[in-house]
Amino acid sequence: MTAPSVDLTAVMPVLIVLGAACVAVVLEALLPRERRYAAQVTLTVAAIVVAGFWTLLEGSRHRYAVTFAGSVAVDGGTYVMWGVLLVLALPSVLLMADRVAEPGGAFVAQAAARVGSARDRVATQVATPMQTEVFPLTLFAVGGMLVFPAASDLLTLFVALEVLSLPLYLLCGLARRRRLISQESAVKYFLLGAFTSALLLYGIALIYGYAGSIRFTDIAARASAGSGSDTLLLAGIALLTVGLLFKASVGPFHLWTPDVYQGAPTPVTAFMAACTKVAAFAAMLRVFSVALQPMYWTWRPVLWVVAIASMLIGAVLGITQTDMKRVLAYSSVAHAGFIILGVMALSQQGASGTMFYLLTYGFATIGAFAIFTVVRRGSGEASRLSDWAGLARRSPVLAASMSLFLLSFAGIPLTSGFIGKLSVFTAAVGAGMAPLVVVAMVATAITAFFYLKVVVLMYFSPPAGAAEDGAGEPYVVVPGPLTAIVIGLSVVVTLVLGIAPSWFLHLLSVPFPFTG
């Protein structure tokens, strides 16, 4: 047997994150409960920062490699994808670690306690130490996200998908309050995710039957030669695409998104909305531009329909929502339709625009969910849109910050969202998809309606009164240091990327084509 070529230096960011996750599991088992929080937060933040620094250093040196017997490709595009992922993972972790807005943290105090029992009620009311196993689970998810866009064969792609998905299934069911809806969201996510993973694996099997290989370059070469059964190839492409679109919450494969976003702990929702989207679209960039590029004439028309469906589903159904988290969920579906235009462009401008859009959308999303954690009614979060009426009178700074994020979602000039949309739409027009850009602009105008509706509620509506269920009037808690850092950082990034984006656009330039 010939030993595979292994370049550990090239994949060091992945090793740092996964190694820290294993160390975190050991700390969770050995340390007393009162000492776990500080150790886990320090380890998690340090791992992400060190991995990000390593990515920036090696990316600036242009140190590229194809390693692990050709299953992992580390090139300029990989470094950009890793950088965006790690930059968004850091504020997500800080938001998870906050214990001020929700005394004891947003996560369940005793996961083993039966929902609704006396033990569960006491544990929820008392600010007991949070369940710190969320931090190793998050690191494992981040590790899978790092491998996902770097995979250069289908089997590695599938393994990375499962590594990033399984921790998310658990994290979704660990909300401190409203535990039944949290557990329901976890079960829905798990069942739909397992079903979609099976479809993706079946698609991998069909493509392997067609090409006789799972490597992206071999699949592309076989497709270019035109030999083999087209039925196997087309069916495999269809199933593989469905699996990737599901993970990116692209409509109409978005059915899990509103329920999971609503039921999961808010920091986990922010983490999924930002980081999982980056991993999924980054993986699609590599799969479609390397493995399936010779067959673009078969899958691009289908993605036209998918993009239109996603934009319209997110825009139209978002108007009807009365829950803030569901509004942001359908916003996510609409944005997925916009982002996929950059993937379909199959160009350097499209890939670079996609990553810039993901960065801008990620920070605005994390900032919006961070504000959501400090607007409360009774003992829980103020989730209904009516609860946000008159927020500007209670907290002008938070209302202004939320308005900025909503305007960025709408693509208003001088915000990062405008530059992100402009980058993706320009790449799509250059690839001959001008009619699709027109549809995207119409969908953008529709989504602006429910974004501006929230702004009007915050500034021009009288403050909401006490609820019929006796929950009292909505109120705003003073953000803890970690949440304040996340909100402030998101505001700064949203403004800077909207006013002076040139340097960041250059930094996020993705070399094209990708390494095979």
- DSSP calls for 463-489: PP---TTS---EEEPPPPHHHHHHHHH
Give the model's pLDDT for residue 351.
93
User: Which pLDDT does position 119 carry in this prediction?
Assistant: 66
How confident is the model at residue 490, as a pLDDT? Answer: 96
Give dist(CA 485, CA 496) in Å, integer.
Answer: 16
187 pLDDT more than 70: yes
**Residue 220 · residue 292 · CB < 8 Å:** yes
- State whether residue 384 is helix, strand or coil: strand
Count CB-CB contacts under 10 A for residue 243: 26
Give the per-residue pLDDT at 227: 72
Most distant CA pair in the chain: distance in Å? 74
- Please determine, for residue 412, whether its predicted confidence score (pLDDT) is greater than 60: yes
Task: Tell me the percentage of the chain whose pLDDT exceeds 70.
Answer: 94
User: Mean pLDDT, to the nearest integer, of 31-53?
Assistant: 92
* Residues 407-422, mean pLDDT to the nearest whole number: 93
Q: Cα separations (Å) of 496 from 83, 294, 421, 502?
A: 18, 39, 16, 10
Please tell me the predicted confidence (pLDDT) of residue 151.
93
Q: Return all residues near 422 (Cβ < 8 A) that are at least 6 apart.
A: none
Mean local confidence (pLDDT), 258-272: 92
Q: Residues 106, 110, 111, 117: is their CA dihedral positive or negative?
A: negative
Residue 467 CA to chain centroid, in angstroms?
A: 33
Taking the CA atoms of 260, 262, 264 and 267 in sequence, report the sign of the dihedral they define: positive
User: Cβ(347)–Cβ(512) under 8 Å?
Assistant: yes
pLDDT band at 464 (very low <50, low <70, confident <90, very high): low
Q: State the helix-helix crossing angle for 348-372 and 416-430, rounded to 10 degrees.
A: 150
- Confidence at residue 177, expressed as pLDDT on a 0 to 100 scale: 77
pTM for the whole structure: 0.94
Given a cut of 70, is residue 224 above it in pLDDT? yes
Evaluate whether 174 touches 134 at the Cβ level (below 8 Å): yes
CB of 138 within 8 A of CB of 167? yes
At 376 the pLDDT is 85
Average pLDDT over residues 394-407: 92
pLDDT at 312: 93
d(CA 273, CA 303): 21
Nearest of 282, 328, 359, 418 to residue 88 by alpha carbon: 359
pLDDT range class, residue 253, cuts 50, 70, 90:
confident
pLDDT of 468 over the 70 cut = no
pLDDT digits (tens, 9 = 90+) for 449-460: 889 999 999 998
Is residue 469 pLDDT above 60, yes or no? no
Tell me what pLDDT residue 120 has. 65
108 is written with which tokens?
A: 């369940």
Question: Can you read off the two tokens belonging to residue 492?
Answer: 């700064």
Query: Picking from 176-185, 258-267, 495-504, which range would have the lowest pLDDT averaged per residue?
Result: 176-185
Find out whether 86 and 13 touch, Cβ atoms under 8 Å: yes
Radius of gyration for the chain, computed over Cα atoms and rounded to the nearest angstrom: 22
Q: 3-state SS of 13-79?
A: HHHHHHHHHHHHHHHHHHCCHHHHHHHHHHHHHHHHHHHHHHHHHHHHCCCCEEECCCCEEECHHHH
CB 136 within 8 A of CB 103: no
The mean pLDDT of 203-215, rounded to a whole number, is 92
Relative orientation angle of helices 33-60 and 76-97, to the nearest 10 degrees:
160
- Using alpha carbons only, what angle is made at residue 366 by residues 360 and 368, rounded to the nearest 5 degrees? 100
Per-residue pLDDT band for 355 (boundaries 50, 70, 90) equals very high
Task: Determine the Cα–Cα distance for residues 476 and 491; give it in Å rounded to an integer.
Answer: 19
CB 143 within 8 A of CB 275: no
Cβ–Cβ < 8 Å for 165, 201: no
Tell me the residue type at 30: L
Instruction: Provide, rounded to the nearest whole percent, the portion of the chain with pLDDT above 90.
Output: 60
Averaged pLDDT score across all residues of the chain: 89
Asked whether the predicted pLDDT for residue 442 surpasses 90, the reply is: yes
CB 33 within 8 A of CB 54: no
For residues 147 and 139, what is the distance between their CA atoms, to the nearest angstrom?
13
Span 180-195, mean pLDDT?
90
Report the alpha-carbon distance of residue 305 to residue 241 in Å, rounded.
13
Which residue do the tokens 């078969």 mark? Answer: 298
Tens of pLDDT, residue by residue over 363-392, are 999 999 999 999 888 777 888 888 888 888
Beta strands of 378-465 (E only): which ranges?
380-381
Coil, helix or strand for 116? coil
**C-alpha to C-alpha distance for 16 and 1, rounded to whole angstroms:** 29
Q: What pLDDT, on a 0 to 100 scale, did the predictor assign at position 513?
A: 82
The answer to whether residue 111 scores a pLDDT higher than 70 is no
Helices (H), 153-178: 154-172
| Count of other CB atoms within 10 angstroms of residue 248 | 26
Least confident of 120-134, 177-191, 312-326, 496-510: 120-134
User: Model confidence at 223, in pLDDT bands (50, 70, 90)?
Assistant: confident
pLDDT in tens, 5-18: 788 888 999 999 99
| Residue among 389, 408, 409, 384 at smallest CA distance from 399 | 389
260 within 8 A of 185, measured Cβ to Cβ: yes
Q: Which two tokens stand for residue 255?
A: 């059915």
Assign 116 a pLDDT band (cuts: 50, 70, 90): low
Q: How many CB atoms lie within 10 A of CB 250?
A: 33
pLDDT at 87: 96
Gap between the Cα atoms of 503 and 332, Å rounded: 26
